[in-house]
Amino acid sequence: MEGKKHFRLAVIPGDGIGEEVINEGLRVIDHLSKTSNTFTFESDYFPWGCEYYLENGKMMDEDGLDKIKNHDAIYFGAVGYPSVPDHISLWGLRLAICQGLDQWANIRPVEFLPGIEGKLNHPNKEELNWILVRENTEGEYSGIGGRNFTGRGPGKEVAVQSSVFTEEGCERVIRHAFNLAMERKRKKVTSVTKSNAQQYGMVLWDEVFEKVSKDYPEVETDKWLVDAMAARFVSHPEELEVVVASNLHADILSDLGSALAGSLGIAPSANLHLDGRFPSMFESVHGSAPDIAGKGIANPIGTIGSAALMLDHLGLTEEAQLINDAIRATTRNGILTADIGGNNTSKEVTDSIISHVSKRYSTV
């Protein structure tokens, strides 16, 4: 044990296929911990989600944040089920954690993996990769508003949903995007807003972006409105490196990017708290997919890729890269689930990834 790093993970499988893909991800982490001999980990499971809600009237324990805030990281499956309204499941668990633990940067890489037929007609698809940096605790998902005025009579109700942009919130996520760009071969950050129509919050965003960019003279910048940016994802993806946007816009654009790459099932993400007070949370971009739950065919790549993001965040950079290399080797060899054109099971995909991890250590 001497010299090894030890980590405590809070594991929240959630709903639908969440438990299935989380278990596959943990298999990879467990195998890597034993073969690399550089780290150990333990997992504390929390049975929160829609079934918990149906039994208890809440998505998580009242003191749930206190129970997970001292872990090294949170590994999250998926949330959502038809019998529970989406706004209840989302706000009661995932957003409660992201906002409650100030996980203010959501990182969503977009990569075109070998062997997967993407939905993009581009001559060099496998060379495309970019990162979406999403503001994760305010903006359009601030949760401020309400429904009222029902006394006006039938059909007269009014709903108000307000976005909140703070200078501090904009600056920290934009600055993080620039820092990520500094680590890439091509140093470029693209800011996405809708400031022509949303003239207060998003104009503030534009002004902060301009201010922060002056601290990074070596980084190329450009700015696009979100509708034009959606078109550029399809028409000029080679121009993308690091894209930073508000909560809603980056949420939508990241799903577009993952779909173009082949499937939401391959897309990892990280909800980062970078100030040292709380753990970060790692999850695949896809939902709970209750229609295929229990069939053993859910794509585990997004969740396993999220484990790589988690290990990298915990300082295990080489181990994270090894997982990513094993994922690419697996897809290149045609070991694919149905959502990306294959007929392999979740377990078979994970077994292949583990096999490639083992090959790496058998050669050293």
pTM score of the predicted model: 0.95
For residue 19, the cross-strand partners are none
Q: Are 82 and 291 in contact (CB under 8 A)?
A: no
**Tokens encoding 244:** 């930073």
- In angstroms, the CA 196 to CA 268 distance is 31
| Model pLDDT, residue 227 | 97
- In angstroms, the CA 151 to CA 308 distance is 53
| Model pLDDT, residue 153 | 75
Q: Are 303 and 24 in contact (CB under 8 A)?
A: yes
Q: Are 247 and 141 in contact (CB under 8 A)?
A: yes
Question: Along the chain (364 residues), what's the average pLDDT of each consecutive run of 10 residues?
Answer: 85 97 98 94 97 97 97 97 95 96 97 91 86 96 84 80 96 98 97 96 98 98 97 95 97 95 96 95 96 97 98 97 97 97 97 94 64
> What contacts 197, CB < 8 A, 6 or more positions away?
none
Helix, strand, coil shares of the chain, percent, nearest 5, are 45, 25, 35
| Model pLDDT, residue 363 | 62
| Model pLDDT, residue 1 | 44
Helices (H), 155-246: 167-182, 201-213, 226-235
Q: Kindly give the pairing relationship between strand 73-78 and strand 280-284.
A: parallel
